[in-house]
Amino acid sequence: MRDDDTIDDQHAHEGTTGRSDDTPSSVQVGVLRGIAATPSLRTRLGALANPLARRGRVALATGVVTCLGVAAFAGVQALPGDRLDPVAAQPVLAERAQEAAASRGQARTPVTATPTPAVASPTAPPSPTATAKPKPKPKPKPKPKRIAPVAGLDETQMDNAKAIVKAGRKMGVPRQALIIAVATAMQESNLYNYASGVLPESQNYPHQAIGWDHDSVGLFQQRPSSGWGEVRDLMVPEYATEAFLSALVEIPGWQDLPLTDAAQAVQVSAFPWAYAQHEWRATEVVRAILA
């Protein structure tokens, strides 16, 4: 055997068995010729193609109807095994389109939403300030009773006499002590609050007159150098009265002494009998103040 024969045999073997789907050309040509030569086979192929063409026409008609706005009624579809004539289906589709348009034209009754009942919020407790009673306004202090001057005194003198009586009542002394104190102030200062020209310091405090009797100051002309107190204190009528009455009640039997003697025992004046002349006026003043 020749080498080339061997090679030809190998190629021939690979050509027929190398691929399972390869068919010899001679066989393919024979099959095509057989199909063309057989009329019954062509008829069967045409029958298979007709349903497909008809189905394409139905799909085209359905697309046109969809463009006209009746896609909702395109539910009429041909089943895979059915045959649908597009010419016969057109009246049905048109009728359904008119029904859809009529249904859209009908008046629709608006739906009224039921209002949700409002839930009442719990009432907040009243604040304490809202229910609290307003505080009562403080009552204005009563104005001091204005006592008309008596016994020939002016307003300033009467006010100083009232300061003496007020201080004595605060101490709780009897009426006789108040009369002795007013009579003594009438003699010493004529019921004016004196500062001293010798003590310029005394003029720094409220005063109504200036005297030059040594360092004597105030309603009772008490001298700071004699131990009666500080200048700033003796210039206050209430303090000066308390100093005088404290010394008076220390004298044994002062209540039984004549007014002038009781006053002299406290003041040690160069004119001891001068106090007696003011007793009746002092009594009238104290009576008017205590009335």
**Pairing verdict, β 194-196 and 209-211:** parallel
Residue 38's pLDDT is what? 46
What does the block give as tokens for 135?
A: 């505080």
Beta bridge partners of 217: 222
Residue 101's pLDDT is what? 52
Residue 136's pLDDT is what? 78
Mind listing the pLDDT tens digit for each residue in 125-179?
555 555 667 777 777 777 766 789 999 999 999 999 999 999 999 999 999 999 9
Q: Which residues contact 42 (CB under 8 A, 6 or more apart)?
A: 35
Q: Mean pLDDT over residues 58-86, rounded?
A: 45
Q: How far is CA 182 from the centre of its chain?
A: 63
Q: Is the pLDDT of residue 255 over 90?
A: yes
Beta bridge partners of 211: 196
Please state, as a whole number, how many other Cβ atoms lie within 10 Å of the Cβ of residue 222.
Answer: 24
Give the separation between CA 96 and CA 104, rounded to whole angstroms: 13
Residue 124's pLDDT is what? 58
Calculate ∠ Cα 29-30-31, nearest 5°. Answer: 95
Amino acid at 48: L
Q: Which residue has the higher pLDDT, 51 or 231?
A: 231
Mind listing the pLDDT tens digit for each residue in 163-220?
999 999 999 999 999 999 999 999 999 999 999 999 999 999 999 999 999 999 999 9
Give the separation between CA 65 and CA 96, rounded to whole angstroms: 11
8 Å CB contact between 196 and 211: yes
- Mean of per-residue pLDDT scores for the chain: 74
User: In angstroms, what is the C-alpha Rg of the chain?
Assistant: 71
Residue 123's pLDDT is what? 60
Q: Which residues contact 222 (CB under 8 A, 6 or more apart)?
A: 216, 228, 229, 234, 240, 243, 244
Residue 199's pLDDT is what? 95
Q: Which residues contact 214 (CB under 8 A, 6 or more apart)?
A: 196, 198, 223, 225
The dihedral built from the CA positions of residue 130, 133, 135 and 139, taken in this order, carries a sign that is positive
Q: Which residue has the higher pLDDT, 43 or 129?
A: 129
In the chain, % of residues over pLDDT 90: 49
Residue 33's pLDDT is what? 46
Please state, as a whole number, how many other Cβ atoms lie within 10 Å of the Cβ of residue 119.
Answer: 6
pTM above 0.85, yes or no: no
Helix (H) or strand (E) holding 58: helix 39-67
CA distances, 132 to each of 127, 135, 139, 195, 272 (Å):
9, 9, 20, 55, 67
Q: Mean pLDDT over residues 39-53, rounded?
A: 46
Q: Which residues contact 166 (CB under 8 A, 6 or more apart)?
A: 238
Calculate ∠ Cα 100-106-111, nearest 5°. Answer: 115
What does the block give as tokens for 41?
A: 């086979």
Give the separation between CA 100 and CA 182, rounded to whole angstroms: 123
